[in-house]
Structure 1
Amino acid sequence: MSEEKPPLVTETSDVARVLFVDNEPNALSEIKGQLGPEYNLIIAKEGAEAIALAETHNDIAVIVCQMHLADMNGASLLAEYEKRFPDTVRIMLTGSSTQDELVSLINDGKVFRCLSKPCPEDDLRRAVQDAVQHYEVTTTDKTLLNDTLTGSVRMLVEILSLSVPESFSRASRMRQWVKPLEKFLDLPNRSEIEIAATLSPIGLVAIPHEVLEKELSGEGALSYTEQEMLYRAPESGRNMLAHLPKLKNVSELVYLQDRGFNGGGFPMDGPVGEDIPFGARVLKVLKDLAAYCPDNEPTIEAIGKLEIRQNIYDPNILKAVGRVWGFDDSGTSKRKKREGKRISVIVHTLMPGDLLLSPITFEHGKLLLSPGIRVSEAQIERLKNLQTLEPITEPIQIKRGGD
């Protein structure tokens, strides 16, 4: 019995990778002869093989597929590609489909171009060339958009770290806790949830500093107007983020971060239960957990406080929190923590990521940063600038490294 041959891959550096799916050996030989020197060719004979190849080659620019395959029809394969590998440009080769079928494929966005079979070499070459060009333009635009998104998020994070450092520290803990949940929860859009966690306090930037200080210190009762400002902060956050590229979904998670699973919380007319976006349900649990837990690792006491009010949380997310940060009978966390190193530093030796164990104040007593905050590069730069104006109390107790 002869061994099954691996998929044919013609490697050529710095040119586009093109996948042909056709179960006719002669057709594949012709394609290899026609286009082999110009492209990195991958050849598959079945739909399942084509999907497997896309999972191992994440840079396939174009897929050219015939309509009738042994294990599925080409339309189904290209629909699967559209869903799972949307950057790959899709071309259909067909000899028997009706015009209505072809028009439907094109109008539904499943294919870039349909070609009749047999296809003249010049037509095939031109179609592949156009598809590769389309791939390069769209992926370049996407890279630029992603770079813009990264820069926008970084800028917003720096604004948060300077404007509302205590809330930013809480949001940073929330972000850290998203990834461990993936062990017990399906998080298909984890990066969106992490960005939303990081930016969850962005609406507080619109609130007067005096109101934030009063709320944080607990000194004096908040007026109705001040309470309403804080209550509606997620709405301000959504409005700030909604117009930034690729942050529309994130803005919706930020907007619904305080919505309880039982229908309580902001906004009063918001969705209930599983109608709340899953990412927003994750934020609700992690935000309250971070409020109860100033440390980088959830405590048994903090998780216990959530369980007392368990009706306001998604039960599956709350259960996952308990499983990730589970505790044994003695109350000891089952997760291993990296302890880090407790040291004393001065302002000029602070490093991004250092965890404050003591407050940072001017020598006359005014608070600059509270304990429990992991300092950012922007915060350190601000402290250095402030120190040129007034003395800051030193040394500062921090923990460097660890969880």
Structure 2
Amino acid sequence: MTEKVLIIDDDTNLLSGIQRQFRNKFDISVAEGGEKALDMVRSEGPFAVVICDMRMPGMHGVEVLGSLKEHAPDTVRMMLTGNADQLTAIEAINEGNIFRFFTKPCPSDVLAKGIEAGLEQYRLVTAEKELLRKTLAGSVMVLTDVLSMIDTDIFGKSTRLRDWARLLAGHLKLPQPWILDLSVMLSRIGWVAIPAEVREKFKSGESLSKKENEMIQRIPETGKKWISHIPRLEPVAEIVFYQNKGFDGSGFPDDEIAGKDIPLESRVLKVLNDLAGISQDTAPTKLDFRQLDLQAQLYDPEIVQIVRQSLPKADAENRDLYFETAEVPLNLLIAGYELLSDIETKDGKLILAKHQQLTKTLLTKLRNIGEIQGIKEPIRVRKHIVRKV
């Protein structure tokens, strides 16, 4: 019994009876009234199935199910009521988007079959979403691996940003954390449209012409145009578009959007992108945050505070609890290792910049180059270690 079922009613006797009757068959929770039920959904969810009475003091059933639809769209919603008039049914179906409608008194076998059908529907919905999420994430991972081969310095930073974003997702309580994950991974895709010589001038700090500056500024717009062609990634496209927008309204794009009107994930990206440009380590230091504070008007202060509290500090003592550094030859590199030094060919050409996490695609590239041109060895890496308890 992994999926949870929530029964909502103001009749405590009915709730106790359902719990006793189905305690060995389903994982049943109960709530007396709509307000308590919604609190439980927020604090104890997700619930696979919710069955709600129609006539209750305070919030009535349609209100509860409508709110539930907004906050927990995957939950299968049902109604159990003694007021089965046609108007009630129509309202419940249209506003609460219910899956089943039961009338009191409801035979236990009918209710059990309804719950089982609801659980099966929940599994179908969540399995489809999980398949879509994994398919999109896998496709984006392949794409970013390929992009990192074009320019290791620019596209390789996406891996570090993704790791930071995943640490933040839980603290931010995002309803769909995968959206931030994909937004981070695709945030630099617009750089593909920038000529190599302009990318090199930008990275080296050389002065750019007016046209070259405009090119750089419009990178998020290019990314948005490309991402918007992918079905269901419209929110990601919008997030990428606003990733360089200052909290005070400055920056690209030049419009009137500012403050909380900027997508939340874009505000997160703005902080992470700028920290990545400052930080020379895998985690930002206090000095990095001080530099960020010099332009505090550009960042959402709440997000900056969350980032300060949740990202691991670049403290050697803390890192050594979970990681160890090593110098290893090319043939012993493993996907998941983090580079602590640049990887270069024997004649000094940069192949991969430090602070990237090795993937299977990158390892294949390195080994192919190693066979033809040779690579400087050993390579300094950080690898995860599992402490025995």
Q: Aligned pair count? A: 381
Which residue among 258, 261, 265 is the counterpart of 1:272? Answer: 258
SS class of match (1:337) = helix
Q: Work out whether 1:176 is the aligned partner of 2:163.
A: yes
Note the C-alpha offset of 1:263.
Answer: 1.7
Q: Work out whether 1:159 is the aligned partner of 2:142.
A: no
Would you say the 8 A contact 1:17–1:40 is kept in 2?
yes
Q: Distance in 2 between matches of 1:369 and 1:104?
A: 60
* TM-score normalised over the length of structure 2: 0.79
Would you say the 8 A contact 2:188–2:223 is kept in 1?
yes
Correspondence 1:82-93 to 2 at 5 A: 82-93=69-80
Residues 314-352 of structure 1: CA deviation (Å, up to 9, x unaligned): 23333444555799xxxxx78953144443332222233
The corresponding residue for 1:364 is 347
SS class of match (1:107) = helix
Note the C-alpha offset of 1:383.
Answer: 0.9
Would you say the 8 A contact 2:327–2:380 is kept in 1?
yes
Q: Identity rate of aligned residues, in percent?
A: 35
Residues 155-195 of structure 1: CA deviation (Å, up to 9, x unaligned): 23322332332123333333333355579766555443343
Q: Work out whether 1:380 is the aligned partner of 2:363.
A: yes
Correspondence 1:251-330 to 2 at 5 A: 251-269=237-255, 271-323=257-309
- CA 148–374 in structure 1, closer or farther in 2 if over 3 Å, else same: closer
AA aligned opposite 2:276: A
Correspondence 1:2-401 to 2 at 5 A: 20-22=7-9, 23=11, 25=13, 40=26, 42=28, 44=30, 46-47=32-33, 61-69=48-56, 72-96=59-83, 99-118=86-105, 131=118, 134-178=121-165, 187=174, 189-218=176-205, 221-269=207-255, 271-323=257-309, 337-339=318-320, 340-401=323-384
Note the C-alpha offset of 1:296.
Answer: 0.8
Q: Distance in 1 between matches of 2:174 and 2:108?
A: 45
Q: Which runs of 5+ in 1 are unaligned?
A: 1-12, 328-332
Higher mean alpha-carbon deviation, 290-299 vs 92-101, is at 92-101
Q: Distance in 2 between matches of 1:222 and 1:100?
A: 67
Q: Which has the larger radius of gyration?
A: 1
Q: Distance in 2 between matches of 1:395 and 1:129?
A: 58
AA aligned opposite 1:104: E
SS class of match (1:91) = strand
- CA 196–270 in structure 1, closer or farther in 2 if over 3 Å, else same: farther
Residues 214-263 of structure 1: CA deviation (Å, up to 9, x unaligned): 33244x65444433332212122223333435433222221111111122
- CA 101–214 in structure 1, closer or farther in 2 if over 3 Å, else same: same
Q: Distance in 1 between matches of 2:32 and 2:5?
A: 15
> Alignment RMSD, CA only?
4.0
Q: Distance in 2 between matches of 1:400 and 1:30?
A: 52
AA aligned opposite 2:319: R
Q: Distance in 2 between matches of 1:71 and 1:44?
A: 17
Would you say the 8 A contact 1:326–1:335 is kept in 2?
no
Q: Distance in 2 between matches of 1:206 and 1:325?
A: 32
Higher mean alpha-carbon deviation, 173-182 vs 373-382, is at 173-182
- CA 75–183 in structure 1, closer or farther in 2 if over 3 Å, else same: closer
SS class of match (1:173) = helix
AA aligned opposite 1:112: F
Would you say the 8 A contact 1:20–1:41 is kept in 2?
no
Would you say the 8 A contact 1:145–1:245 is kept in 2?
no
